[in-house]
Amino acid sequence: MNTRKNFIDIDHYQLNKNKNVVCGDVFLSKKIKEEGKIIAVLSDGLGSGIKANVLATMTASMALNFTSNNSPIQHTAEIISNTLPIDSERQISYATFTIIDIDYDSETKIINYDNPDFLLLRNQKFIPIPENSIEINILGKNKKMYSFDFKIQKEDRIIVFTDGVSQSGIGNTNMAFGWGIDNVKIFIIDLINKYKFISSHDLAKKIVNQANNNDILKPRDDISCAVLYFREPRKLLICTGPPFNKFDDNKLGSIIKKYNGKVIISGGTTSQIVSRLFNKEIHVGLTLDHSGLPPIAKMEGIELVTEGILTLGKVSEILQNINTTEVNGEGAAVEIIKNIFNNDIIEFVVGTKINNAHQDPNLPVELEIRRNVVKKIIKILEEKFLKEINLHFI
Amino acid sequence: MEKKIEIKICIGTLCYVMGGSELQLLAEHLPEKFKKRVDIIGSTCLDYCLDQEKYGKAPFVEINGEVMAEASINKVIDYLIKKY
Ligand code: FES
């Protein structure tokens, strides 16, 4: 596995055109672990609503797959445009796209077909990147797309959005031609000056919400923004379960002590071990919340202390059911998930000692084996949320 | 001042699934006369569940160090009334 020194925090945010139930813009991203590659695509389908969504989904997924297979971009663009279903009213088929392709060595290629220009933000400034134009043949017509090559650096951000952002507010007295890229840039610089380390999710959301404000809270078009932020990875350690061997309790303690990141302990017995080793008391709260999970506890130096198996089961269930990094609700599982989303590299240390009391067939619920629950969580985090995961058994 | 009665409620996994979750509401149900005399705290697994032949069935509560098996809000209150 290629592990890059820096991590890419990728996220997006979107709002649908007023009253539409689906978005006509689609953002997809994929991490190819073996090659250390990251590919992301933003596509804006013609029109809005379901039809646009179908066009954009087809475009984005084809672009993602072709690019993962290293097929030449011109070819990809032509195939996409020539396969899209033709709109019966307008007799054209059309969806814009921006493809971002970053390899393990930070070499970055961006292709833009009819989306607003992407922005590269470095040291609080936008860096212009020279463009190459590429001619493509779409349904017998010559069209142009643009490609950009550069090397991405630590703390860089790539920001892409659909014209729902740049054209928001069209016709307002103060912005007859819409918000415009230059003003979007000023808005972003202001934000970055205020929040230097703002996450991709928060930055994308703020941009989209401002565009929505420009449209006076009734979006005239689908509004989407995606951000790729190349930064020092934030690390989170989740320890769950007592070590198989009692002698290894100390090992668990030293892993936690040496860790340069946040630490969560999920498991009562595990937290007792740590409490004993570090001589720190566990304070168990007795607050019943709506999650139905055992309450959160506190221990000095530890970010979060929760019960183990029920809580992790819930974490896995919630992760299964969400598709964005917006999580609402309360309780131990939601807190764990929020912490996961705020970090890039998630490390699990799983103790493999079996709790015999949990194996009683008369229990009202089946208590899963910890290892299996953790494996499920990891699979979702890697595949759906592109997190980098390390797993150790102890 | 009279020493407080300490009630430890186990919120370990096993006790929790065996009905311990409800015990978290104990404070609200205590009769007036005990409200000021009792300290309720939560605890991770108290280890009684590992030997249920000896201690009885989960959920467990400890009242001034004495274990109570199959604890429920009513059972705890009855015990307090009888004993204190
Ligand atoms: S879970 Fe309550 S005694 Fe073990």
Kindly give the distance from the C-alpha atom of residue A360 to the centroid of ligand 1, in angstroms, as a whole number. 13
User: Which atom of ligand 1 lies nearest, measured to the CA of B13?
Assistant: 1
User: Which atom of ligand 1 lies nearest, measured to the CA of B43?
Assistant: 2
The whole-angstrom separation of Cα A101 and Cα A160 is 13
The whole-angstrom separation of Cα A230 and Cα A218 is 33
Q: Rg (Cα) of chain B, in Å, rounded? A: 12
Instruction: Give Cβ neighbours of residue A167 (< 8 Å, ≥ 6 apart).
Output: A178, A179, A220, A221
* Residue among A272, A288, A310 whose CB faces B44 most closely: A272
Chain A contacts of B25, Cβ < 8 Å? 288
The whole-angstrom separation of Cα B18 and Cα A43 is 51
- Please give, rounded to a whole number of angstroms, the shortest distance from the CA of A376 to a CA of chain B: 20
Chain A contacts of B30, Cβ < 8 Å? none
Chain B contacts of A309, Cβ < 8 Å? 13
The whole-angstrom separation of Cα A140 and Cα A41 is 25
CB contact under 8 A, B49 and A357: yes
Please give the residue of chain A at the shortest CA–CA distance from B23: A286
Residue B1's pLDDT band (cuts 50, 70, 90): low
User: B residues 9-28 near A, CB within 8 Å?
Assistant: 9, 11-14, 16-18, 21, 24-25, 27
Contact A83/A54 with Cβ under 8 angstroms? no
Contact A307/B16 with Cβ under 8 angstroms? yes
Ligand 1 pocket check for B23: Cβ under 6 Å: no
Q: If we measure between CA atoms, which residue out of A239, A238, A215, A100 comes closest to residue A166?
A: A215
Residue A139 has what pLDDT?
73
Residue B62's pLDDT band (cuts 50, 70, 90): very high
CB contact under 8 A, A357 and B52: yes
Lookup: tokens for A303: 């970010």
Q: Is A285 exposed, middle or buried (0-12, 13-18, 19+ CB in 10 A)?
A: middle
Kindly give the distance from the C-alpha atom of residue A256 to the centroid of ligand 1, in angstroms, as a whole number. 25
Lookup: tokens for A253: 């303690």
Mutate: best of B8, B9, B10, B17, partner A, most A CBs <10 A: B17
Contact A204/A226 with Cβ under 8 angstroms? yes
Residue with the two structure tokens 């008391």 = A281
Element (H, E) at B13: helix B13-15
- Domain A7-231 architecture: 4-Layer Sandwich (3.60)
The percentage of chain B sitting over the pLDDT mark of 70, rounded to a whole number, equals 99
- Global pTM reads 0.70
Ligand 1 pocket check for B12: Cβ under 6 Å: yes
* Residue among B13, B40, B41 whose CB faces A268 most closely: B13
Contact A389/A348 with Cβ under 8 angstroms? yes
Contact A25/A14 with Cβ under 8 angstroms? yes
Sequence ranges of the domains in chain A = 7-231, 235-393
Q: How far is CA A229 from CA A19, A121, A152, A248, in A?
A: 31, 9, 10, 38
The whole-angstrom separation of Cα A20 and Cα A52 is 11
Kindly give the distance from the C-alpha atom of residue A245 to the centroid of ligand 1, in angstroms, as a whole number. 21
The whole-angstrom separation of Cα A62 and Cα A77 is 9
- The pLDDT tens digits for A355-372 are 888 888 778 777 888 999
- The pLDDT tens digits for B19-50 are 888 898 898 899 998 888 999 999 999 999 98
* Residue among B13, B42, B44 whose CB faces A358 most closely: B13
Ligand 1: residue of B22, B47, B53, B54 to mutate (most ligand atoms within 8 A of CB) is: B47
Q: Which residues of chain A have pLDDT under 50?
A: 1-3
